[in-house]
Copies of this chain bind each other. A is one copy, B any other.
Amino acid sequence: MSLGEFDLIARHFTRPARRSPLGVGDDCALIAPAPGMQLAVSSDMLVEGRHFLSTVAPERLGHKALAVNLSDLAACGAKPLAYTLALALPRADDTFLAGLARGLHALADRHDLDLVGGDTTAGPLNLCLTIFGEVPTGAALLRSGARPGDELWVSHPLGEDEPGWLGDARLALEVFRGTPGLRVPGEAFDHLRLAMECPEPRVALGLALRGVASSAIDVSDGLLGDLQHVLRRSGPDGRPLGVVLDADALPRSPLMRAQTAALQHECLLAGGDDYELLFTAAPADHGAVRAAGQRSATGVRCIGRITAESGTTVHDRHGHRVATPWASFDHFRS
């Protein structure tokens, strides 16, 4: 980076830290969790062409980079505190940096989150965020807490008109790819695109589920795939638990309902980039889960049940087995 580029970064990203003892500008940032709290930490790297298209608006890229990290905190039931941003840029572009910063700052402000440090370098476009949240010692939602008999839940937007329903990010990607046979009217595409570019992390729901959910994960690589991490880590002696899942119970948008059944199943069960919370809770906590959803203004839907026996069974409302030809769970590792 030239000196002018240092200046550009400073102009767009330097803001006073509000809650951290020491923010941007020293060798390290200093963070102090409150007494009795543990720090939850997560890193995500976003690469152009893989996690976002070169055509994405910089503001949406900023939003998404932070949203996927917030989603990891949500899945642990952690309260957001601070984040660092490391950035590789092919060139210092004022318009791009201004947009990126706007998207980051807007979402950070909504979650009272400080940008406390980072790094900037020349290189192929790459964003690496590390996020910090706090959670009372022992209260973090883990992937390993599911028990046989637990109900399986997934979050969703409250209103049908809200963007970001399960599977919609994948549906938007199919539109980008020009997949034939899609039923997406042109005027609906901008709305659909929000699901892919502006996911809404379920932070409030994650907090409300502390002490209620037995396990949780956020859906980033596809619901069935991410579910395998929970089943593997929750099983006794390395033997995964199983699940019976009702495909018809999966929440979906009106646009999704207009697609073929096969495409719906693929988008809903293997789509990825959803950033909904997938979590389990004892049947006795069914009401507590619903209350957590209401308290956090987030939809929650019961979609299945955890079994002691390994294996993933997906059926429809009539009890017929649903084919999942795109899924191969055997090789997933938690």
A298–chain B nearest beta-carbon distance, Å:
17
Tell me the residues in window 31-86 of chain A with beta carbons closer than 8 Å to chain B beta carbons: 31-33, 35, 38-45, 47-51, 72-73, 75-76, 78, 84-86
Contact of A334 among B25, B45, B334 (CB under 8 A): B25
Known: A3-B328, A86-B44, A128-B128. A31 touches B27 (CB 8 A): no
Tell me the residues in window 1-36 of chain A with beta carbons closer than 8 Å to chain B beta carbons: 3-4, 6-7, 10, 21-22, 25-33, 35
Total copies of this chain within the assembly = 2
Q: How many residues of chain A have a CB within 8 Å of chain B?
A: 68
| Stretch of A130-138, A257-265, A282-290, A315-323 that contacts chain B | A130-138
Contact of A30 among B26, B31, B130, B135 (CB under 8 A): B135
A88 CB within 8 Å of chain B: yes
| Stretch of A118-126, A152-160, A248-256 that contacts chain B | A118-126
A78: nearest chain-B partner, CB-CB: B28
List the B side residues contacting A45 at CB < 8 Å.
Answer: 86-88, 119, 121, 123, 126, 128
A326 CB within 8 Å of chain B: no
> Contact: A84 with B130, CB < 8 Å?
yes
Given A28-B42, A32-B33, 11 extra CB contacts under 8 A: A6-B331, A21-B137, A26-B144, A28-B72, A30-B39, A30-B76, A30-B140, A41-B84, A41-B117, A45-B128, A47-B121
On A, residues with C-beta under 8 Å from B are: 3-4, 6-7, 10, 21-22, 25-33, 35, 38-45, 47-51, 72-73, 75-76, 78, 84-88, 116-119, 121-124, 126, 128, 130, 132-133, 135, 137, 140, 142-144, 216-218, 233, 328, 331-334
